[in-house]
Amino acid sequence: MPARFSLLFPAALVAMVLAAVAGVLWGTADIGWADRLAILSRSEEAPRGLSLIVWQWRIPRVLAVGLIGAGLSLAGALMQTALRNPMADPYLMGLSSGASAAAVAAIIWLPAAVTDRLGVPLIAFLGAAAAFALTMGLSQRRGQPMDPLIVVLAGVAVSLMFQSLTAFFLYIGDPHATRNAMGWLMGTAAGTEWQEVPLLAVAVVALGLVFLTQANALDATLLGEERAQALGIRTARLRAMIFVATVLLTGLAVAVAGIVGFVGLIVPHMARLLVGARHRVLLPITMVLGATVLIAVDLMCRVLLAPEELPLGVLLALFAAPPFIIILRGLRRAV
């Protein structure tokens, strides 16, 4: 396994860098190669307008999308482990929709001073936390193990509720939002600004490292609650850490790009197929693959119908449908 990882991890890193470079070079605006080079080398001869597009729009956007992909994939992998549920994912469990509804409501109704003070990420975090609590509450059956399918159904119900709330808020409100309704409901990284990148970067990298130090405990968690406890793992504490991290990552992602679905579900499964389920190899691969996938899909969203842009959610759902069905069919009922 480590041998495989030592080949695949560098390969995934290269793919991520290539995707990022492509994401910067291509987009809705058609820029010639000479200009591209001039712009990237910050030459005096670079056209100012195009230079602005690359440096102010594309680069922060690619960085943000990469971090969101890595963060949501990390969140998905951690949730799947904590709940021992292959269908666990920030989107399917309603966290993204909760975060989105809270952010939209705050932007529309709260005075700008309050929203600015608290910050959209914090409000989105609270929305994600509320949705998560609701999903978990609906999935609990007293004295019975949580059925993976019931968790997914509860998540879908919570998700639908918050998405209709978001649509309702957007319909009756007058959104002076930085993004349009489509963005909040279907995800888009259009309009990402540099100032949104640092918080995301710190959170995603720091949480990635924190959970890498917990790799053994996470591995033990996969074997079952009681087995992990018998190995000396404080499972309740680890689970609480995972839930806070997941809600945080989802809130941050939604604050920047709205609802980005399925990455957190599909990418960890791809990673498990490649390197197995041991977290010291699974988490790094998951994060790099998540970044690569989302940067590539975002690029497709920009170029497929250029100069129009597709919402991220449309292409993601399209790509995610077949693996989603495979995972669903492999799901075992809780015993």
Binding site for another protein (CB under 8 A): 1, 80-81, 84-86, 145, 216-217, 219-220, 222-227, 229-234, 269, 272-273, 276-278, 282, 330, 334-335
Give the Cβ contact number of residue 297 at 10 Å: 26
CB of 202 or CB of 326, closer to another protein: 326
Minimum distance between the CB of residue 74 and another protein, rounded to whole angstroms?
16
Minimum distance between the CB of residue 237 and another protein, rounded to whole angstroms?
10
CB of 29 or CB of 215, closer to another protein: 215
Minimum distance between the CB of residue 330 and another protein, rounded to whole angstroms?
8
d(Cα 47, Cα 259) in Å, to the nearest integer?
34
Identify the three-state secondary structure at position 191: coil
Minimum distance between the CB of residue 217 and another protein, rounded to whole angstroms?
7
Three-state SS string over 129-163 comes to HHHHHHHHHHHCECCECCCHHHHHHHHHHHHHHHH
Structure tokens at 69: 């992909």
Minimum distance between the CB of residue 247 and another protein, rounded to whole angstroms?
21
Minimum distance between the CB of residue 120 and another protein, rounded to whole angstroms?
34
CB of 233 or CB of 260, closer to another protein: 233
d(Cα 137, Cα 225) in Å, to the nearest integer?
19
Phi, psi of 144 (to 5 degrees): -120, 150
Contact 261, 316 (CB under 8 A): yes
d(Cα 314, Cα 300) in Å, to the nearest integer?
11
CB of 85 or CB of 159, closer to another protein: 85
Give the Cβ contact number of residue 63 at 10 Å: 23
Angle ∠(190,194,196) on CA atoms, nearest 5 = 80
